[in-house]
Amino acid sequence: MPESYPPAPAPRTLRGSPAPAPRPARFGSRLGRHPVALAALAVLAGLTAACVFGPWLLPLPPDQVQLDAIRAAPSWAHPLGTDDLGRDILARLLHGGRYSILIGVLAALLGTGIGTLVGGVAGYAGGRVDGALMRATDVAYAIPALPLLIVLASFTGASPASLAVIIGLLSWMTTARVVRGEVLALREAPFVLAARGLGARPARVLGRHILPNALGPIVVGGTLAVGNAIVVESSMSFLGLGVQPPTPTWGNMLMDAQASMAAAPWLTIFPGVAILLVVLAVNFLGDGLQDALDPRGRVR
Amino acid sequence: MAAFTLRRLLQAIPLTLGITVVLFAVLHLAPGGPEGALMATGRFPDPEVVEAYRQRLGVDRPVPEQYVRWLVAAARGDLGVSYSTARPVSEMILERLPATLQLMGSAFLLAAVLAFLVGTLSAVRPFSWFDHLGTGLSFLGIAMPVFWFALLLQLLFGVWLGWLPLSGTGAAGGASGWARPAHLVLPAAVLSFRYVAAWSRYLRASLMAVLGQDYIRAARAKGLPEWRVVVGHGLRNALIPVVSVMALHLATLFGGAVITETVFAWPGIGRMFVTAMMARDYPLLMGILLLGSVMVVLFNLLADLLYGWLDPRIRHA
């Protein structure tokens, strides 16, 4: 593109303010000024890469029993020690992280998708549809989530895939409420009225004009949902009602750790640190995204 | 206030009915339905129990009729018979309820008191070292999985320092009157941590906004002592948004109790839930879920009423 063209003016809505949808350049620089969020992103990327590639690089498979190294304390050979069967904790941690992170991401995607759909339809349709969908949301909110998840997981068998689906199916309520609020605020905005006046169908108005402008809260909610899903999965596995051994996850590693808590505290400490790191990083990233994506937020 | 109370009560009824529909559907999602689940337990239960179940569930009737029967029985307090003990579910739940209420109640109180202290002190001196410490601990508290925090406290206070008992209630030892409170310390602390973290931040934000208002300046100008300005004029108004957050969070308190009771072998409903799950005891599971949901509805109702009392404008909205 020739350099001499004048830069395109920022798109404006009929309200006369710049279009609220965040543009990549501004979004990038805004997140760039949030060093904690950037560090969180780096930690997440590093941990994910370690979980994806680490198991290939380590000398030991996660299920290798070593009878001569039972409950070995952390050392050069086993940086995070070994468990009751002499299995290497680092190998198990990285291998288990694949499941934990994958379940977290899939469940968050599914839950955020459902929540966006429910909240979008409720907010845009209004009236009885809105009432019915929001009452359904109230009902889903009132039933204690963890016990219900445990019962549902017992029906499907607690494979990582089915856990991701079940957790996703039961974590849409917050997104639904937030998205509904956003849609209500945007429904009568001039650019939506214009789209409607041009004859766009409801699905198009909602999908192309309203929801892109509500992307900020959706992305933030989806990010936080990843951390939440990881905690839920690990809680279920910790109770022995989630992912079953021998498949290692951070939750069921902690379940195993209870038996030898006093003799081998590293079994209790490291998987929990992994969960804490991921969830903290996800929360900090969510905070940073909120600042960067919120069109009403102050530009720092 | 009476009309407001009545309106809220009436709104809770459809919500509760919706919950029963979902729970009934879940019970019927069990592989082979509730009856199939009973057979699948493979413990060859007493034929009389099976027969009693067939009759009570009316397995040959249409599903809506089964639902109504189940609902009517549940409304009378008949939640069915446990698959694993053949005792009435309601009886088993009532037996365990006090221990759970004790745990949830003390965790809630602890969380509320600590959150108010930390939140208020942070809001009065924002960006002080205490405030920063509070913010840091809050991030930790919100991200920390309940069960891992439980294990860490067990390791620190139970194993390494030996100050507090690891688990149980101390009832078996026939110990002194302090045994039960001492056994309650760790579980209640674990269960309350994340709520202290969340509520203190909400209160801080809310109180900081309130303390910037004109009527606070007016109260100071009147010459009121600072603590009366903060507590009497600030806190009362800052509480309003926090109360609704607290009620919303109570829904997760029950799930937290399941984990906490299991880790600390606290003989409440949460631990019974896990045992019931291992035994695939669906009537007991459904009874516990129903109780948990009804508790949430009640707590929310209570919060709404409290809200109306704290902020009289709400009642007329």
Sign of the alpha-carbon dihedral angle for B299, B300, B303, B308: negative
Nearest residue, CB atoms, B297 vs list A142, A262, A283: A142
> Cα separation of B12 and B294, whole Å?
10
Q: A232 with A147: CB under 8 angstroms?
A: no
In whole angstroms, give the CA distance from residue A76 to residue A74: 7
User: What integer is the mean pLDDT of A170-177?
Assistant: 90
Answer yes or no: do B277 and A276 touch at CB < 8 A. Answer: no
What's the whole-number mean pLDDT along residues A288-300?
A: 64
Distance CA B159, CA A258 (A): 12
- CB contact (8 A) between residue A268 and residue B152: yes
Beta-carbon contacts of B127 under 8 Å, excluding residues fewer than 6 positions away, are none
Contact between A147 and B255 using a beta-carbon 8 Å cutoff: yes
Which residues from A are below 8 Å from B296, CB to CB?
141-144
Q: Rounded to a whole number, what is the distance in Å from the CA of A84 to chain B's nearest CA?
A: 17
Q: What are phi and psi of A240, to 5 degrees?
A: 85, 10
Q: Give residue A180's pLDDT.
A: 92
- A156 in B contact zone (CB under 8 Å): no
Q: Is the pLDDT of residue B188 over 80?
A: yes
| CA-based nearest residue to A289, from A229, A230, A226 | A226
Per-residue pLDDT tens digits for A30-75? 666 778 888 888 888 888 888 888 777 776 777 776 766 666 677 7
pLDDT in tens, A93-139: 888 888 999 999 999 999 999 999 999 999 988 889 999 999 899 88
Say if A203 is an interface residue toward chain B (CB within 8 Å): no
Task: Determine the Cα–Cα distance for residues A275 and A100; give it in Å rounded to an integer.
Answer: 9
- The predicted complex's ipTM stands at 0.83
| pLDDT at site A107 | 95
Distance CA A50, CA B74 (A): 51
Kindly report which listed range (B162-171, B225-234, B259-268) carries the lowest average pLDDT score. B162-171
B49 touching chain A per CB within 8 A: no
Nearest partner of B79 among B64, B65, B98, B93, judged by Cα: B93
Question: In this predicted structure, what is the pLDDT of residue B107?
Answer: 93
Nearest to B30 among A155, A241, A280 (CB): A155
pLDDT at A23: 52
In Å, how far is A195's CA from the nearest CA of chain B? 34
Query: How many beta-carbon contacts under 8 Å exist across A and B?
Result: 128
- Sign for the CA dihedral angle at B171, B174, B178, B183 comes to negative
Model confidence band, residue A15 (pLDDT cutoffs 50, 70, 90): very low
Tens of pLDDT along B213-241? 888 888 888 888 888 888 888 888 888 88
Do A37 and A43 form a contact (C-beta atoms < 8 A)? Answer: no
**pLDDT at residue A36, rounded to an integer:** 82
Window 274-303 of B, Cβ < 8 Å to A: 274, 277-278, 280, 282, 285, 288-289, 292-293, 296-297, 300
Q: Kindly report, residue by residue over A215-258, the tens digit of the pLDDT.
A: 888 888 888 899 889 999 999 988 888 888 788 888 888 888 77
Tell me what the mean pLDDT of segment A181-192 comes to.
88
Contact B210, B256 (CB under 8 A): no
CB contact A136 to B (< 8 Å): yes
Position with higher pLDDT, A106 vs B310: A106
Q: List all residues of chain B from 235 to 254 with a beta carbon under 8 Å from chain A.
A: 248, 251-252, 254
Q: Would the pLDDT of B113 be above 60?
A: yes
**In terms of Cα–Cα distance, which of B61, B38, B42, B64 is closest to B50?**
B38
Q: Would you state the pLDDT for residue A299?
A: 42
- The whole-number average pLDDT for the span A138-153 is 88
Is the pLDDT higher at B106 or at B67? B106
Q: How far is B117 from chain A (nearest CA, A)?
A: 24
Mean pLDDT of B43-64: 68
Q: Is a pLDDT exceeding 50 seen at residue B74?
A: yes
